């Protein structure tokens, strides 16, 4: 009985496969006929346009982001008598003005002869700074020193190009253990 079912199942599978083969031949014949009858209509590509390179004439112009242009703008601003920036531009730079504030860290404070000093670490060197000295790249001037913080006034350009003052701080950095 079991063997009879298997044989019947095999015969029905063979019949199905032969029916698929017939349909496949019919489909293949239809595709061949369509290939002969239908002609593709592809428009030819247009010839490429001739490229004429143009010389770059702005190479001799002043780069809008150059230090030269910034220096000219700063000098013009400094010439104005009521400019906040005029006094800062005309003075000699101090050593700690070569470093950005984020490269400095306050590591302590000390008082000598009644004068409060902050100890700042920059490039593994220790500096003593006092009230009124300058640091940072934005014309920062120290306005207050406490045991845990150095407060300074910076002069920066706002979005309109005007020079304005802003407050900045360096806080005591405790050593990680």
Nearest to 118 by CA among 176, 175, 166, 171: 171
Handedness of CA 153, 156, 162, 167 (dihedral sign): negative
Q: Which of 149, 145, 131, 135 has the alpha carbon at shortest distance from 88? A: 135
Domain parsing of the chain, residue ranges = 93-171
Mean residue pLDDT of the chain comes to 81
Q: What does the pLDDT read at residue 176? A: 55
Tokens linked to 36: 């002969």
Structure tokens at 14: 């063979």
Q: List the single range of 62-71, 97-106, 123-132 with lowest mean pLDDT.
A: 62-71
Residue 57 or residue 10, greater confidence: 57
CATH architecture of the domain covering 93-171: Roll (2.30)
pLDDT in tens, 13-66: 665 555 555 678 888 898 998 888 888 788 889 999 999 998 888 877 767 777
Say whether pTM exceeds 0.75. no
Residue (of 173, 107, 116, 112) closest to 144 by Cα position: 116
């Amino acid at each position: 009985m079991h063997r009879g079912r298997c044989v019947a199942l095999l015969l029905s599978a063979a019949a199905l496969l032969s029916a698929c083969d017939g349909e496949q031949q019919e489909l293949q014949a239809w595709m061949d006929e369509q290939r002969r009858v239908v002609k593709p209509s592809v428009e030819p590509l247009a010839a490429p346009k001739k490229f004429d390179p143009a010389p770059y004439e702005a190479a001799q112009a002043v780069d809008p982001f150059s230090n030269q242009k910034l220096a000219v703008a700063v000098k013009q601003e400094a010439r104005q008598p009521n400019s906040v920036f005029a006094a800062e531009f005309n003075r000699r730079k101090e050593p700690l003005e070569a470093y950005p504030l984020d490269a400095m860290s306050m590591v302590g404070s000390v008082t000598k002869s009644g004068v409060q000093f902050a100890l700042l670490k920059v490039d593994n060197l220790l500096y003593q700074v006092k009230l009124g000295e300058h640091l940072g790249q934005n014309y920062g001037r120290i306005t207050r020193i406490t045991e845990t913080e150095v407060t300074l006034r910076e002069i920066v350009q706002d979005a309109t190009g005007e020079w304005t003052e802003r407050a900045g701080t360096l806080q005591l950095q405790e050593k990680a253990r």
